[in-house]
Structure 1
Amino acid sequence: MIWNETKECMSRDELINLQSARLKKTVSHVYHNVEFYRKKMQQLGLEPGDIKGIEDLHKLPFTTKDDLRENYPFGLFAVPQSQIVRVHASSGTTGKATVVGYTRRDIEIWQECVTRVLAMAGIGINDKIQVAYGYGLFTGGLGLHYGAENLGATVIPMSTGNTKRLITMMEDFEVTAIACTPSYLLHIAECLEEEGKLDKIKLKAAICGAEPWTENMRKEIENKLNLKAYDIYGLSEILGPGVAADCEYHKGLHIYEDHFLPEIINPQTLEPCKEGEIGELVITTLTKEALPLLRYRTKDLTNITYKPCECGRTIARIGRFKGRSDDMLIIRGVNVFPSQVEAALLELGETSPHYLLIVDRVNNLDVLEIQVEVEEHFFSDEIKELENLTKKIAGVLQSALGLSVKVTLVEPKTIARSEGKAKRVIDKRKLYE
């Protein structure tokens, strides 16, 4: 089902006119209300009147996650605090959270975008949807929750952490849809199989996101649970879940261009890529009031096509992500940077600055092992001392990352050295096949 045919199926000319009008309004909004953008534009010799439409987008400055971090917490907000009705946050590179705010209108637009995603997955007012993303500062839980309520579906705010109870409710409530990470859904499938309940559930659709996943993983989910699985994309800086999603044809994720103006650039030269060419996704928000962003560099590598889809939607589609142009990892929906690990270890002061992150997928759940070099004398101490140090490091890292980790202490010079950039990450998940 197409929830908003007027916006999702408009002609390219109509869309460009709408985008141009909204871009001009956004540029004026940030110029007059955000000192950061006003200074950036003035340094480039730009005034709001110089932006006539989307053909002038290239004149505007880029925005990065570092800009958000350096203006922590509210420096990029474009409205008074009295108009902020909600704040979310995601982990940043140095322990400082990336803070995002929403006006009442921003929340309504977010609801609309997620509703479009759910309708695209065939979910309607007669469905019961379990939202098994984390609630709280993470945007996943509340993002899907309000979108599903806006659609009129029955929402079961399950969150994460109690799979046995989730399965019981799934069976007893005759749940027909679920929203969660794809790795968690495979874990749920295995639990259902162990309990002999695969044939007792009524699931027909799954909205999966918050972590990268392969087409093979989708097929495995669909075969195990006899449902249709859909990919949802978003990032808290731009909105949260609902920036883009795929339809039943799974030929790219439809990005809601009436709210988000996409570009694909070469991450090295910053020049635009040709249609279909792999590059970094850059997004300009067109309707955000609280935290409008100009040319935000997502670091996600993908391509774009403007050809209409078989489903009838005319909005652009971005391809399956091929990786990232930075060193950020996404583990069970949590953003993890090696620099966070380094900062936590240096603050602890009982280890060397050499470490290695090893990410794997075990029983369909992401696991993070962190190998840490310690001084030689620790290995001559009692086992008890090593165990205590391991627990101490694990506690510090869990606090810094917001994620449980396995810590392995290794002897000095065990971790390979490099003359160039140190290799800090080994990702065994094969996410971009």
Structure 2
Amino acid sequence: MAKSEKEKYWTPIIETMPRKEIEELQTKKLIHAVNYAYSNAEHYKKSFKEAGIKPEDVKTIDDFNKLPILYKDEIRERLQQTGDPFGGLLAIDFGEKILNIAASTGTTGVPTVYAYSWHDRQISSEQDSRLKWMKGYRPGDVFFMVGPRWHAYASQLFYAMDAMGLTVLIDCGYPLPFISKKHVMTMKTLKPNVYASPNISLYSIIEAAKSMNEDPRDVFSCCKLIDAGYGDVLTTAVRKRIEKETGIASENIFDSGGIAEPLWYYGDCEFHVGNHCLDDLFYTNVCDLETREPLAKGEKGECVITNLFSESLPIIRWGTEDMTIQDLEKCNCGRTHSRWTLLGRDAFATNIKGTKTFPTEIENALGDIPGFTEYFTILKYKKGPMEILKMKLAVDQTKIKDQEKFVKEVKSALKEKMGVESEIEVVKTIADLPFVGHKVIKVLDLTKEAE
């Protein structure tokens, strides 16, 4: 293999493995994962028995897909019943082998608790090394990650950066005005060439720079790439906004994200056509959200994930409730593992006149309107189909001369591009929107508040 090819991939042989070999490897690992989970985690002994399935029944991927899908609510229910924070999933000794314990953000309810062993962190950080290398991270780069360090992802991320030979700038990631001003100073003085953070932290730095009479484009001029997303889908509209604000070309703005419980993370390559997954470490497929049956290639459905390496908390068929489309075709970058187009969490979809509408569709419909931001909350004001889309929207006031005209333009675009009538309330700041952790709540269910 030519030197340029070696430099292109972190693990060339694995990342370009033929699909047939990937699926053979997945089958072997799935059989092992099923036996390990059944032998060591109380939850799977119970759920397999209830489903009438024994570990020895699983010999193929089709057999595996007959196992029940596991959802967060089952873990939460077991916590309520038994007090077990791991919901019967813990498969190793609590005191001796666990390295880290953390919790999810709690986007859809009570946060779920998960754990790393040393083995888990080593493998999961290998996942991150591959994904970051794909985006252009290289030894000697100066890396500035502004994000919530309480999240377990931080553990594997920084471990991966050490393995890759990067210099890491460590700081608090909360998007508070005085902290964001400190981040601006860090950018200007230490000049990291790789910046990564959730979108909200990135925008907070941009606004802090403006308040300090600094041009954000000058602040980010030291960067060769921006790694964004981390909890928010990086839509085309968002990518364009980041490019305009920072001066970083859109082809050098990358998407990152994942699902905390199965330690599954993803990212896009330089072609930006779907987010890459590591199929030697995970088995993923798309299922119908109602029937829970696997769907055919290219169909839209729920992303279901199985971790093929976890020692501490085996995750077998984790239902993410994220609506996705899977692509198994070889990418133009040469990688052969699956790619995913994420549409959004099903819980964030709203039913407008019988049509399921995702926040990402709204972002792309409104993204070209000056002053629009992806920070908005949809109000679910009734059960069942709603006649009108009601939203609270945080905007970039510096780009809006006439707020009434702006609202009319938003309503017109929603009507023209999505066929929906709307009521729009512009809030003063993003802080006026409801939050969970570091994320804006995309759909606020007012029907629950009324109960």
TM-score (norm 1): 0.75
Q: Is the contact made by 1:132 and 1:141 (CA closer than 8 Å) also made in structure 2?
A: no
For 1:165, the equivalent position in structure 2 comes to 182
Residues 1:284 and 2:284 aligned together = no
- The DSSP-based 3-state class of the residue aligned with 1:71 is helix
Amino acid at match of 1:56: D
Distance (whole Å) between structure 1 residues aligned to residue 223 and residue 108 of structure 2: 40
| Shift in CA distance, 186/68, structure 1 to aligned 2, threshold 3 Å | same
Distance 2:47 2:379 in 1: 29
Q: Which amino acid aligns with 1:26?
A: A
Asked if 1:125 corresponds to 2:122, the answer is no
Do the aligned partners of 1:260 and 1:285 also contact (CA within 8 Å) in 2?
A: yes
Judged with a 3 Å threshold, the aligned counterparts in structure 2 of structure 1 residues 203 and 424 are, in CA distance, closer, same or farther, namely farther
Instruction: Give the counterpart of 2:11 among 4, 13, 26.
Output: 4
Post-superposition Cα deviations, 1:216-267, rounded to whole Å, max 9, x if no partner, equal: 211221343233111112111111xx62110010000011111111111111
- 2:199 is equivalent to residue 182 of structure 1: yes
Match of 2:63 among 47, 56, 66: 56
Whether the 8 Å CA contact 2:192–2:223 is kept in 1: the answer is yes
Measure, in 2, the Cα distance between the counterparts of 1:404 and 1:234: 14
Relative distance call for 1:171 and 1:256 in structure 2 (3 A) is: same
- Asked if 1:148 corresponds to 2:161, the answer is yes
| Cross-structure match for 2:253 | 229
**Which residue number corresponds to residue 262 of structure 2?**
238
Written as runs of structure 1 = structure 2, the 5 A alignment for 1:386-425 is 401-402=436-437, 422=447
Q: Indicate the residue corresponding to 2:393 in structure 1.
A: 360
Aligned partners of 1:131 and 1:159 also within 8 Å = no
Q: Matched residues in 2 for 1:177 and 1:361: separation? A: 28
Counterpart selection for 2:215 from 181, 187, 196: 196
Gaps of 5+ in 1: 331-335, 340-356, 371-397, 407-414, 426-433
Q: CA RMSD in A?
A: 3.3
Instruction: Give the superposition deviation at 1:403.
Output: 6.6
CA distance in 1, matches of 2:445, 2:18: 55
- CA distance in structure 2 between the aligned counterparts of 1:191 and 1:92, rounded to whole angstroms: 28
Q: 1:133 to 1:91 in 2, by over 3 A?
A: closer
Letter in 1 for 2:259: L
1:68 Cα deviation (Å)?
Answer: 2.1
Instruction: Tell me how far apart the structure 2 counterparts of residues 403 and 312 of structure 1 sit (CA, whole Å).
Output: 35
Identity percentage over the alignment? Answer: 31
Alignment partners' CA distance in 2, 1:338 and 1:112: 40
Determine if contact 2:106/2:437 at 8 Å carries over to the other structure.
no
| Superposed displacement of residue 91, structure 1 | 4.2
Look up the match of 1:101: 115
CA displacement, residues 41-70 of structure 1 (integer Å, 9 cap, x when unaligned): 122222111111323222211100012223
Q: Secondary structure at the match of 1:56?
A: helix
Asked if residue 267 in structure 1 is aligned to residue 289 in structure 2, the reply is yes
Asked whether 1:71 is paired with 2:78, we answer yes
How many residues are matched? 360
What SS class does the counterpart of residue 146 from structure 1 fall into?
A: helix
Paired residue for 2:152, among 139, 160, 177? Answer: 139
Residue pairs, 1:18-33, within 5 angstroms: 18-33=25-40
Verify the 8 A CA contact 1:140 1:210 in the aligned structure 2.
Answer: no
Q: Confirm or deny: 8 A CA contact 2:33 2:314 kept in the other structure.
A: yes
Equivalence for 2:411: none
State the SS of the aligned residue for 2:258.
strand
Once the two structures are superposed, residues 139-193 of structure 1 have per-residue CA deviations (whole angstroms, 9 ceiling, x without a partner) of 3433432222221111111232311111111121121011101233233234435
TM-score by length of 2: 0.72
1:205 and 2:225 correspond: yes
- Contact 1:128 / 1:155 at 8 angstroms: preserved in 2? yes
CA contact (8 A) 2:101 2:152 kept: no
Distance 1:423 1:135, change over 3 A: same
Change (3 A) 1:403 1:12: closer
Residues 338, 424 of structure 1: 8 Å contact kept = no
Distance 1:103 1:40, change over 3 A: same
Query: Structure 1's 92 and 163: CA in aligned 2 closer, same or farther, altered over 3 A?
Result: closer
Change (3 A) 1:36 1:206: same
The secondary structure found in structure 1 opposite 2:74 is helix
SS at match of 1:31: helix
Which amino acid letter does the alignment assign opposite residue 177 of structure 1?
A: V
1:360-413 alpha-carbon deviations (Å, 9 max, x no partner): 34449854546xxxxxxxxxxxxxxxxxxxxxxxxxxx8xx557999xxxxxxx
For the residue of structure 2 that corresponds to 1:59, the secondary structure is coil
Give the 3-state SS of the residue equivalent to 1:263 in structure 2: strand
Match of 1:352 in 2: none
Please report how far the alpha carbon of residue 130 of structure 1 lies from its aligned counterpart in structure 2 after TM superposition. Answer: 0.6
- Corresponding position of 1:299: 321
Using a 3 Å threshold, how does the CA distance of structure 1 residues 221 and 369 change in structure 2: closer, same or farther?
closer
Separation in 1 of the partners of 2:430 and 2:317? 31
Gaps of 5+ in 2: 1-7, 80-84, 350-357, 360-376, 381-389, 398-428
What is the alpha-carbon distance in structure 2 between the residues aligned to residue 130 and residue 248 of structure 1? 20
CA pair 106-361 structure 1, distance change in 2 beyond 3 A: farther
Query: How far, CA to CA, are the matches of 1:289 and 1:218 in structure 2?
Result: 37
Partner residue in 2 for 1:214: 235
Aligned to 1:346: none
> Structure 2: how far apart are the matches of 1:315 and 1:191?
39
The corresponding residue for 1:395 is none
